[in-house]
Structure 1
Amino acid sequence: MEKARIDYVDPFIGVDGENNCLCGPYLPNSIVRLSPDTLPPQLSHGYDSQRPIVRFSHTHVSGTGGGGRYGNIGITPFIGEMRLQVDGYEREHEQASAGYYYVRLMPEGIQAELTSTARTGCHRYTFPEGISGHLWIDSSAVIQVEGDQPGATTGLCIGGYLEKVSSTELVGRSDFRGGWGHDYPYSIYFSIQCQQPFSACILADHTGIREHNVVDGKHCRAAVSFDDQQIVEVKVGISYVSIGKAKASIEREAVGGFDDIRQQAGDVWEQKLSRITVEGGSEQHTTLLYTLLTRLWCMPSDLGIDDEYHGWVSGVRQYTDLYALWDSVRNANSLLTLIDPELEIGILNSLLDIANHIGWLPDAWIAGHSAMIQGGSSADILFNEAMLKGLPDLNYKIALAQMRKNNEVYSPDTWMYGRYLEDYLSLGYLSTHVPKNAVSRHMEYSYQDWCIGSLAESLGELEIAEQYYQSSTKLWNLWNDERRCFAPRLPDGRWVEPFDPAVCRTDSWNDPYFYEGTSWQWSFSTHHDFAGLIERHGGNQAFVEHLNTFFDNGYYYSKETMLHIPYLYIYAGRPDLAAERVRECMQTYFKVARDGLGDNEDMGCQSAFFICSALGLYPLMGQDIYFLVPPVFDSITLRLGTESAQIFLNIVVEGDTNVSDRTQNRYIAEAWLNDRVLDRAWIRHHEIQHGGQLRLRLSRERQSWGSSDLPPSPLQEWRNKKQTTA
């Protein structure tokens, strides 16, 4: 019997190490992400395979680094005496699938099962026969990351209340502060509905047990007991707005028993995963593809239209936990634009609505507030890409005005909004006056300037376009030609000495010059002028040698700012070497294992690298280009457009017939797009957005295919156009 797509999903891939992915159930872009939390200290997602399980909580981020956030409203089953503290459990037979999680908690032998809807967590606990079971409810639960400060860089409960309203229901509100990005407070409202009545209930606050039906404060807990109930089912509605909405979510979404809800979750995922159908790949590659697709749709959370967002009423669908665009812009948003454009349009309209209310486009948006800017304004890149790819139903004129504001208006708080403009506008570069990451910020600002110019040109604002294209040439003001890399400069123009482009001065987050990388690594991020980069290295062959040195000496690793680098061989006329390096990166950094990803997953960024590379169709952020490399599957069908659209792009792969091992076919020898010969290793979005067929013939031998028609480099095209008109 043929396996369904969800049968390939392995939620344990990437749960350990720095991957920080969830193994518990969630639905696409859901509010509830229900997952086990292990004994503190915790990672940002709350889980570690080597540590005991202490609870199952309902709100999580997935794949992020940084300080802890969420892990709220925790439930833990236990047996024995009623109490308000439970020790951690070892695990046995832990397993998971799309929308489902199971573990046997040892040594007590309690079976725990989890499933979920978009806004409801569903639990089923099976206690040992003949033994009364209990549930411990910790409404103050929150992720605790070692070394971070509770209430600032990691979470802290700062208040709330917990109320018993009947023998089957507890409700309440919990207030929290702290976590990555900002320390603004947020509130979680909840309704905990037991499907079997509990025989006893005790409530406690920070002082201990209280003889009341309600407790309040920073540490509200409850324990409920079930006599003669071997199986207990619990539904927990979660809301950011009210208890009433939490209850309504249970009534609307969590209809039926646990098995019904689990089946519905699986059906939702099977439908979502049908956006991509593959055949002929290995079990490992297929497992990674469909598992990582579920990660692509994990965040952000869809709050609906004037529904689960407390900040304002505007008639616009809102999203939260954009955590962060700086990561997802590298490739994940481009993949969504291709296979789920409705979601991408929704996210972009939400960003515009946020900017309309707070005055600035956010770079990250968490729990109703802007969060730390890691570079510039990544939204600038997304709006330009959306225009180039023809996404409808977006007000691009308003987007352009907001994008220009980042370049033209001094920010009141550069931690959360806008740019460091003083040096950028007066000196033409970010000098060492900028407190940290000056060079990498400068590089990002320059690319975002090009994106502003490109969007302006698309809108017919040619003078503005010319202004911003010229501004984007500031990129090279921090290029040190002697070192052949980007380097820091003092305000007086002198280069900083000593300077080692291979290392960070401090940790990679707080380095004064580069963020999460070194100069060697960042110096490939010239997205609007790769031709200029190649020229400064001495031409195609010299650039190829530089790339080879970079990879062979171990400077590359699977970091979001480096994921495009193996594709740069194509700009130097060597698609064959791009094919080799991409496959090498996939094999090195992506495995069916609990630590199977090369780095933080980062809101679909790692996932999109593997997915797009496996499909042989990799996007360049902010532009309308896809690079072509050999796919790992024989047949691929992408369903494009809206959910109801029947638009299909078929990628068909043929290999040398005399090669028994298909994996030896590592190079593209010939290509046809809709039966027209394709002699380049890149295509534009408009060439595939209406569907069709891309046919590839692969070979085991290196080929010259795609070596002469190189991808466009925007600044080079702009310069050529200026010279022609002059």
Structure 2
Amino acid sequence: MSLIFLILLIFNILIEPCKLKVNATELSYRKINERAEIDKVTKFVDPLIGTQNEGHVFPNPCLPYGVVKVGFDTDDIKDNHAGYTVNGSITGISHLHVSGTGGEPKYGVISQFPLTSTSLYTIPLHNYTSLRSFEHFEVGYSKFGLKRYNVTIELTAARRTGVHSSRYRGGSIYSVSPSQITGVGHYSGGWNEGSKYTVYFCSQFNKNASSFGTFWKSFINENATFLSSFDIPFDTPAIGAVLGFDFDSNMDESGYQACKSAQEEVPNFDFEKTRELAVNAWETELSKIRVDGGEVGSDLKTIFYSSLYRTMIIPSDRTGENSKWSSYDNEGKLVPNYDDLYTLWDTFRTTIPLFTLFQQSRVIDITRSLIDIYQHEGYMPDGRSGMSNGITQGGSNADMVVAEVFLKNLGDNNNAINWTLAYEALLKDAEHDPWERGIFEGRMFLPYYKLLGYIPFPTYKTLSYAYVPCSKTIEYSTNDWSIALVAKKLNKTDDYIKYHSRAKNWENLWYPNMTVKGAKGFILPRFINGSFDTSWNVFNTTGYTPYYEGSAWEYSLDILHDVKRLIYLAGGPQAFERRLDKTFKDKTYLTPYFYIGNEPDFFHPCLYHFIGKQWKSAKLIRDILKRKYGKEPGGIPGNDDSGAMGSWFVFHAMGIYPMAGQDIYLINSPHFSNVTIYLSPNATFTILAKNQSTENIYVQSVKINGVNWNKTWFRHQDIKNGGILEVEMGDEVSTTWGVINGVNGESVVPPSMSDY
């Protein structure tokens, strides 16, 4: 009996190389401070949360923002976006995955599979998959069994290297000098539909094989050292290599990993050391937010840290791995390069704002990467993966990221970001129609938006989902407001006036004469002649619609940058409150009124702030978190979307919420009595919730840095260098704090564009 390793390359379309090397490089970690073992937060992370209920979360080993995400793949094609599924047979182990995404799966290429067979010629190449006999997941480590072959596999990861340990329960492998397989795979596809990409791999074994060969279909060529897809029929589904290892009862296990420079990350094939370093890396990043004093006996900490963990699985830091170009800063260092921004449409609302608090150096690097991509490819990305810009779902949402980092003054101290070039990238999005790349970059149908003030609805309804003129018009308006704020801060007065004006374009789709369920006025599709499609069902979300993944009811509330104007058009505060009450009446929170499983609705529970009833937001948000988040594998409301669902939970559990693309945070209802956010090694932002409990959910009073604070919001500048937000909690709604015309008659609602 031999232990056999299959290395399987599935070829789709052959292309010019864009190297994604699964290699090793320098691995370095820094600690915030020394903490006792008992104080570690990684013990609260459950990687399986979000792997069911279409969460598509990657549960296997990786590092924060690591290139390699090593894990097994299954044949359950309905849900294997991250490789892992609850059901289905295991088809192999691969090193590249995404997490939480919808649409067509990406990666899962260069598959390796250990099995047992009497010889190379008895390998069941036509069907070698296996059910799992067990599985186990921790931070930086996973372990599972192949039931068919009685083989146990353990996985861990470094930044660019995956380490496998495979054991046969009756013997082991002779320990001799290593052997290896190298190769290349060319691929295309995945949801973002970006350019084709190439993966170079090198698989190294710490024991010599007793037999080897190459294969395609069911044909094995023993002792062959080379096989190219160009030498066999084009329609061949797979080619690969196979190695056989003899067993000896005196030996114990084998490990294999990416080779050559992998010795730098995984010296001497040290599985346990690699696993330890992976856990330490996660501990360092997760410990940048410390929470204490949640509900006694609850699973709040587990849900919190598991959510925070998921925000850092992707994007992937590919700095030093970009074969398309190399950029260097003024100090001669490589400019950061990030991939698997999948997508900014999902993450600009909560994930990126969360990074501006606890991952400031990281978000600066991501911003530098966006600008560098613009400089070399002409546009900043939205759905970038496989080292290629992909589908833009809505607006040019890299604008929101750049604007927010700029408005929060991040990176100013070390001049890390070239703001002149950044502003140039913003204007490119705002002024140039990417006709040559269609849906993949910039803003589609920009000439209509600039000329008419909206994107018109076609008289024929057979276009692809990428058209969505209503939601794109809204998002372009929001993008323009963020650009206007940047222009204002740069003293570019003419640009500020221009983009301030264009940020009103969403109003051109507001039809005031439609009343549905007591709500008056809706964003409706409008034809090029100026007339509205008044027959549109405001709850329709199926088929081709002018709204991306949402209904007219939902998008008619999604005016992030000018809620004050929205309230006026909707009939005033009282009418708007009734509209909101109707929106959140169904406590499933998965309806055409409000769908918490999708990003355009993320901001809507906070809309009560803008009518002076923050307490309604607080009560609603607590109910959503209780009903829609849990510690189970299905414990998130749909696709995790690159950690977007996780970051939404994290913000609300801490008791604050960001206004994306701006420098504003709203104050809600903290779930912990003490939250400490490490903004930098020298600055912390602390949220103290006094008398916080399950019953005491309403804010009674607030202080920021010792100063009484009646507003329901604050700016990043208020806590930029560190600070303390003190919140007094109670079981009844306050009649003084956060109320319009409350203490000293002060207006407390968050600012809108109409206030400028």
User: Does residue 314 in structure 1 map to residue 345 in structure 2?
Assistant: no
Corresponding residue of 1:142: none
User: Does residue 94 in structure 1 map to residue 135 in structure 2?
Assistant: yes
8 A Cα contact 1:383 1:396, kept in partner: no
User: Does residue 45 in structure 1 map to residue 70 in structure 2?
Assistant: no
Q: Quick one: structure 1 residues 414 and 712, their matched pair in 2 at CA, closer, same or farther if it must change by over 3 Å? A: farther
Which of 275, 282, 295 is the equivalent residue of 1:262? 275
Q: Quick one: structure 1 residues 462 and 183, their matched pair in 2 at CA, closer, same or farther if it must change by over 3 Å? A: closer
Deviation string, structure 1 residues 104-140 (Cα, Å, up to 9, x no partner): 332543221110000000011121114879xxxxxxx
User: Does residue 297 in structure 1 map to residue 320 in structure 2?
Assistant: no
Q: How does 1:277-426 map to 2 (within 5 A)?
A: 277-282=290-295, 283-304=298-319, 307-315=320-328, 316-392=335-411, 393-411=416-434, 412-419=436-443, 420-426=445-451
Corresponding residue of 2:4: none
1:42, CA displacement in angstroms? 4.4
Q: How does 1:561-580 map to 2 (within 5 A)?
A: 561-580=600-619
Please tell me the residue identity of whatever aligns with 1:423: Y
- Between the aligned partners of 1:8 and 1:429, the Cα distance in structure 2 is 47
- 1:112 counterpart SS class: strand
8 A Cα contact 2:194 2:388, kept in partner: no
- Between the aligned partners of 1:500 and 1:286, the Cα distance in structure 2 is 42
Corresponding residue of 1:677: 708
Corresponding residue of 2:564: 531
Q: Which moved more, 1:85-94 or 1:212-221?
A: 85-94
Corresponding residue of 1:600: 639
Which of 678, 688, 703 is the equivalent residue of 1:639? 678
Structure 1: which 5+ residue stretches go unaligned? 134-165, 238-245, 657-661, 719-726
8 A Cα contact 1:124 1:231, kept in partner: no
8 A Cα contact 2:390 2:440, kept in partner: yes
8 A Cα contact 1:18 1:599, kept in partner: yes
Q: Which moved more, 1:246-255 or 1:290-299?
A: 246-255
Deviation string, structure 1 residues 133-181 (Cα, Å, up to 9, x no partner): 9xxxxxxxxxxxxxxxxxxxxxxxxxxxxxxxx8621111111111111
Q: Quick one: structure 1 residues 385 and 707, their matched pair in 2 at CA, closer, same or farther if it must change by over 3 Å? A: same
Q: Quick one: structure 1 residues 407 and 130, their matched pair in 2 at CA, closer, same or farther if it must change by over 3 Å? A: closer
Which of 21, 25, 31 is the equivalent residue of 2:61? 25
1:255, CA displacement in angstroms? 4.9
Q: How does 1:511-530 map to 2 (within 5 A)?
A: 511-530=544-563
1:59, CA displacement in angstroms? 0.5
Corresponding residue of 1:223: 242
- Between the aligned partners of 1:255 and 1:293, the Cα distance in structure 2 is 32
Which of 738, 747, 756 is the equivalent residue of 1:706? 738
8 A Cα contact 1:120 1:235, kept in partner: no
1:597, CA displacement in angstroms? 0.9
Deviation string, structure 1 residues 204-254 (Cα, Å, up to 9, x no partner): 1347212411222262222322222564333332xxxxxxxx521343445
8 A Cα contact 1:670 1:698, kept in partner: yes
Q: Which moved more, 1:36-45 or 1:92-101?
A: 36-45
The number of equivalent residue pairs is 666
Corresponding residue of 1:236: 257
Please tell me the residue identity of whatever aligns with 1:232: E
Please tell me the residue identity of whatever aligns with 1:414: G
Corresponding residue of 2:754: 716
Corresponding residue of 2:686: 650
Q: Quick one: structure 1 residues 586 and 527, their matched pair in 2 at CA, closer, same or farther if it must change by over 3 Å? A: same
- Between the aligned partners of 1:488 and 1:255, the Cα distance in structure 2 is 63
- Between the aligned partners of 1:289 and 1:683, the Cα distance in structure 2 is 23
Please tell me the residue identity of whatever aligns with 1:538: G
Q: Which moved more, 1:168-177 or 1:72-81?
A: 72-81
- Between the aligned partners of 1:167 and 1:400, the Cα distance in structure 2 is 52
- Between the aligned partners of 1:88 and 1:126, the Cα distance in structure 2 is 17
- Between the aligned partners of 1:183 and 1:368, the Cα distance in structure 2 is 8
Corresponding residue of 1:158: none
- Between the aligned partners of 1:297 and 1:417, the Cα distance in structure 2 is 24
- 1:222 counterpart SS class: strand
- 2:484 counterpart SS class: helix
- Between the aligned partners of 1:616 and 1:329, the Cα distance in structure 2 is 19
Corresponding residue of 2:628: 589
Which of 189, 203, 216 is the equivalent residue of 2:200? 189
Please tell me the residue identity of whatever aligns with 2:501: Q
1:3, CA displacement in angstroms? 5.1
1:398, CA displacement in angstroms? 2.0
* Identical positions, percent: 30
- Between the aligned partners of 1:655 and 1:183, the Cα distance in structure 2 is 51
Deviation string, structure 1 residues 540-594 (Cα, Å, up to 9, x no partner): 2221211110111442222111111111111111111111111111112211111
Q: Which moved more, 1:275-284 or 1:569-578?
A: 275-284
- 2:106 counterpart SS class: coil
TM (normalized to structure 1)? 0.88
Please tell me the residue identity of whatever aligns with 2:607: L
Please tell me the residue identity of whatever aligns with 2:450: L
Q: Quick one: structure 1 residues 310 and 226, their matched pair in 2 at CA, closer, same or farther if it must change by over 3 Å? A: same
Please tell me the residue identity of whatever aligns with 2:273: D
- 2:181 counterpart SS class: strand
Question: Which has the bigger relative contact order, CA under 8 A and spacing at least 6?
Answer: 2
- Between the aligned partners of 1:365 and 1:449, the Cα distance in structure 2 is 22
Q: How does 1:474-553 map to 2 (within 5 A)?
A: 474-483=505-514, 484-506=521-543, 511-553=544-586
1:84, CA displacement in angstroms? 5.4
8 A Cα contact 1:325 1:379, kept in partner: yes
8 A Cα contact 2:307 2:650, kept in partner: yes
- Between the aligned partners of 2:279 and 2:751, the Cα distance in structure 1 is 44
Corresponding residue of 1:157: none
8 A Cα contact 1:655 1:665, kept in partner: yes
Deviation string, structure 1 residues 259-284 (Cα, Å, up to 9, x no partner): 11111111111111110111112441
TM (normalized to structure 2)? 0.85
User: Does residue 205 in structure 1 map to residue 216 in structure 2?
Assistant: yes
8 A Cα contact 2:368 2:417, kept in partner: yes
- 1:482 counterpart SS class: strand
8 A Cα contact 1:380 1:448, kept in partner: yes
8 A Cα contact 1:236 1:250, kept in partner: no
1:88, CA displacement in angstroms? 3.2
- Between the aligned partners of 2:651 and 2:254, the Cα distance in structure 1 is 40
Please tell me the residue identity of whatever aligns with 2:493: L
Please tell me the residue identity of whatever aligns with 2:620: R
1:198, CA displacement in angstroms? 2.1
Q: Which moved more, 1:116-125 or 1:84-93?
A: 84-93
- Between the aligned partners of 2:378 and 2:214, the Cα distance in structure 1 is 44
8 A Cα contact 2:173 2:254, kept in partner: no
Deviation string, structure 1 residues 398-423 (Cα, Å, up to 9, x no partner): 22222222232232223112221232
- 1:7 counterpart SS class: helix
8 A Cα contact 1:84 1:222, kept in partner: no
- Between the aligned partners of 1:349 and 1:530, the Cα distance in structure 2 is 31
1:449, CA displacement in angstroms? 1.2
Please tell me the residue identity of whatever aligns with 1:11: P
- Between the aligned partners of 1:529 and 1:177, the Cα distance in structure 2 is 41
RMSD: 2.1
- 1:214 counterpart SS class: coil
Corresponding residue of 2:454: 429
8 A Cα contact 1:21 1:601, kept in partner: yes
- 1:545 counterpart SS class: helix
1:713, CA displacement in angstroms? 3.2
